Amino acid sequence: MNRTKWIAVAALAVSAGLALTAYGAASWDWFGRARGAGTIEGAAIPGEAIAARGQVQSAAAAALGASGDDRVLFGDLHVHTTYSTDAFMWALPILGGEGVHPLADACDFARYCSGLDFWAATDHAEAMTPSRWLQTRESVRQCNAISGDAQDPDVVAFVGFEWTQVGRTPNEHYGHKNVIFPGLEDDAISRRAIAAAGVASQTLRGSPVALNRWLPFLDWRNRQDYFDFQHYVREVQAVPECAANVPSNELPAECFEAAATPRDLVDRLDAQGLDYLLIPHGTSWGFYTPPGTTFDKQLEAAQRPERQTLIEVASGHGNSEEFRNWREVTLAADGESGECPPPTRDYEPACWRAGEIIRTRCLASGANAESCEARAAETRLRAANLGVAYHLLIDGEQPTDWLEAGQCRDCFLPPFSHRPRTSVQYGLAISNFDDPAPRRFRWGFIGSSDNHRARPGTGYKPHDRMRQTEAAGASSDEWRTRILGPQAQPSDEPNTDVTRETLLNRAGFQLTEAERQASFWTTGALAAVHTQGRTRAQIYEALQRREVYATSGPRIMLWFDLINGPGGEIIPMGSEARMSAAPRFRVRAAGDFKQAPGCPDFAAQGMSAQRLQHLCGGECYNPTNERLRITRIEVVRIRPQNRPNEDVAGLIEDVWRTLPCNDRGQGCVVEFSDSEFARARRDTVYYVRAVQEPTPRINGAGLRPTRDAQGNTTAVDPCWGDWRTPRSDNCLADVEERAWASPIYVNTTRR
């Protein structure tokens, strides 16, 4: 056969191959398909079940001497579905996922599994295409449409989104914030979900979140899930960017809108004339927060701190409440470069542990002590300047090598690598003195789940860790290698290719630790509101006026009042008052009900057994008539800075007072006053924690450390999100669940 004929035959073969490939791709959906919002199955909960909830609450209030008209409703204002990129990834079979979790699942779960009164859809704006934003609004409307009487609905669903800002350095970092809208009509909701400019958007749009192209063929049975994820990413990248210099209200609906700072986000929302709640969350979670970050820059007037009226104290990612006086790094005047501080009795900086790992390897290689100390010192310094990517310095490192480095060892359910200067207590203690009157945060407290499996309110029972928390990971060591790549050989010198300059040019969460933080995933917290009824407007108004509180997950009942207001009136949690006399407070608290196994009888009437099992895993919020006991009331007093550079450590008094709770099954009532207030003549913030008797909690012990007689951590036993910890192991440990009342802000009367 001559050359011309060979070319003709080859061309025919290629054409035939391409045709067959195209046919196969089309028929097998190799190009992927869009996953929708799903179908809501559950009908409204029977009216008698909702009435029974109200009667139980009225009885609890009456037993504590509170008004019987005061309703306490529980909800979750932070819920992700597989419209969020990380949620979709965790749903993939390669990470042990059980498939996509659309918005419809969240509605049915809130109604039947967790039995909530309200919830909000808050998928990441960075992946919210115009089509997904439309479907989000429509699905939330459908959830509300089947909620029964609008004046007494079984559940209220809100539309929202998460602004997922991440900075590579402390000066650039503002953190994540949820935006919640009160209404359901289009003119009450942002035209677009507004993304965070920078790393979060670049990861998805500029440097594609692409899985290994061969994964569908390595896991052929589940190939469609991988094709669909790639289609999901391409959909995001296909949306054109909005013009940066055009006001939000003048932009077309079909573009990708982004805001770089809280100020930009507020400006864009305000340009549309919207009412909304702007809620920071996960503020001290070190998984993405650069070491050394503080809240201070967010108190600048330009960043519109007055719009952030609520803060999420706790979630399934941990508790961001507590301040500690140790530092992760010691920053220079530029706010970016730093040094590694030495460890204290209670805390070992991760940069210090990096040096110790290198020192140990160096000594094991036979090098002399002086040389090994020099390598350790170099490693510490470099690690202190690499932000969340410090671990990349150590070739062949294992998560257990880090022991408890970077972790708060004495915090209640802390987040991974807790950053104390972005904690709630630190934020309440600082002041900005750019204007004559000090500028301060005035937050109300809520909790929520930050669940990424469309499961609002997962904290009702400590069951099924792989469903109810964010736990995810490879099914075997082989799959771990396929996901993370081959393990580097351990070296006794720091990796010279890892520098600050190279990392600043890389985007995405590949720079952060992905396995060690699995031990910090737990079930979700809750938001509680004091209202006179169950309507959407009443719930939103309670959130606006900050008459709200957070719980770590249980439905603890809590009232916190200033009982000698300036005019003799009673002032509830979340309020602000100005007075000269000693403030006096009253706290009422009752524990959550103990849970019965299984689900309430009405659940089987509202949804199919198959769907109940799929969503709830056979376990729902199913209260008995017996309450858990409140053991004590803890009072926290914070006296905010009244001059620049005043040391914050001396202003946060935690615990200022501990009040025993003589709870015999119905809760307790306690009172306290501050006789020092008038003499000190300082503005003061007061809030309380109602602490419940110990009960089991998923990942309640974090890394499960072993410590020697001196308190040094000698080993850890992580609760892995992958095959190394059996799915049947919920990694339970007893903890003292709690509720945090929103503060009462008592300002002194100045002469």
Rounded CA separation 554/546 (Å): 20
- The residue among 627, 643, 671 that closes a domain is 627
**Residues 24 and 79 placed together within one structural domain of the fold:** no
Do 3 and 51 belong together in one domain? Answer: no
Q: What is the pLDDT of residues 447-482, one digit of tens each?
A: 999 999 999 999 999 999 999 999 998 888 888 887
Same structural domain, 20 and 74: no
Measure Cα distances from 153 to 143, 390, 409, 623 in Å.
Answer: 11, 50, 43, 20
Strand partners for 529: 73, 548
CA–CA gap between residue 197 and residue 161 (Å, rounded) = 15
Q: What is the pTM of this model?
A: 0.94
Same domain (yes/no): 25, 99: no
Is 227 inside any structural domain?
yes
> What pLDDT is attached to residue 508?
53
The pLDDT score that the predictor gives to residue 29 is 61
The whole-number pLDDT of residue 505 equals 61
- Out of 627, 647, 680, a domain closes at 627
pLDDT of residue 7: 31
Give yes or no: residues 17 and 102 share one domain.
no
H helices then E strands: how many in the chain?
19, 30
Asked if the structure places residue 211 within a domain, the reply is: yes
Closest CA relative to residue 511, chosen from 160, 200, 159: 200
> Once rounded to an integer, what is the mean pLDDT over residues 637-653?
97
Determine phi and psi for 311, rounding to 5 degrees: -140, 140
Closest CA to 524 of 235, 214, 315: 315
Higher pLDDT, 219 or 427: 427
Whether residue 735 is contained in a domain is answered as no
Instruction: Name 112's bridge partners.
Output: none
Tokens of 694: 């110990």
What's the pLDDT score for residue 514? 80
CA distance 290 to 169: 6
Q: What is the mean pLDDT of the chain?
A: 91
Distance CA 476, CA 483 (A): 11
- Whether 208 shows a pLDDT value over 70: the answer reads no
Residue carrying the six token digits 């530029």:
334
Question: Tell me, what's the pLDDT at 30?
Answer: 67
The CA distance from 134 to 411, in Å, is 41
142 shares its domain with 12: no
Query: 433 pLDDT exceeds 70?
Result: yes
3-state secondary structure 550-566: EECCCCCEEEEEECCCC
Candidates 743, 610, 579; CA nearest to 677 is 579
In a domain, 583, yes or no: no
Exposed e or buried b for every residue in 261-293, given b needs 16+ CB within 10 A? bbbbbbebbeebebebbbbbbbbbbbbbbbbbb
Distance CA 396, CA 384 (A): 19
Supply the pLDDT for residue 504.
Answer: 60
229 part of a folded domain? yes
Q: Are residues 26 and 160 in the same domain?
A: no
Same domain, 133 and 81: yes
Same domain for 26 and 51, yes or no, is no
Question: Is residue 391 a contact partner of residue 403, using CB atoms and an 8 Å limit?
Answer: no
Query: In this structure, is residue 387 part of a structural domain?
Result: no
Q: What was the pLDDT predicted at 212?
A: 62
What pLDDT is recorded for position 23?
A: 36
Residues 6+ apart with CB under 8 A from 27: none
Residues 188 and 103 in one domain: yes
Q: What is the pLDDT of residues 114-169, one digit of tens each?
A: 999 999 999 999 999 999 999 999 999 999 999 988 899 999 999 999 999 999 88
For residue 45, give the nearest of 619, 606, 613, 612 by alpha carbon. 606
Please indicate, yes or no, whether residues 19 and 116 belong to a single structural domain of this protein.
no
List the domain range (segments joined by +) for residue 1.
1-30
Tell me what percent of the chain is helix, strand and coil, each rounded to the nearest 5: 35, 20, 45
Are β-strands 630-638 and 652-660 bridged in parallel, bridged antiparallel, or unpaired? Answer: antiparallel
Tokens of 371: 């040389």
pLDDT tens, position by position, 247-303: 999 999 899 999 999 999 999 999 999 999 999 999 999 999 999 999 999 999 999
What confidence category does residue 553 fall into, taking pLDDT thresholds of 50, 70 and 90? very high
Helix, strand, or coil here: 217? helix
Give the total number of structural domains in the chain.
2
pLDDT computed for residue 537 by the predictor? 97
Judge if 136 and 86 occupy the same domain: yes
**Mean pLDDT along residues 5-32:** 41
Q: Is residue 501 one of the residues assigned to a domain?
A: no
Structure tokens given for 721: 């999100």
Which domain CATH number covers 540? Answer: 3.20.20.140
- Beta 571-572 vs 557-562: how paired, if at all? antiparallel
Q: Is residue 576 part of a domain?
A: no
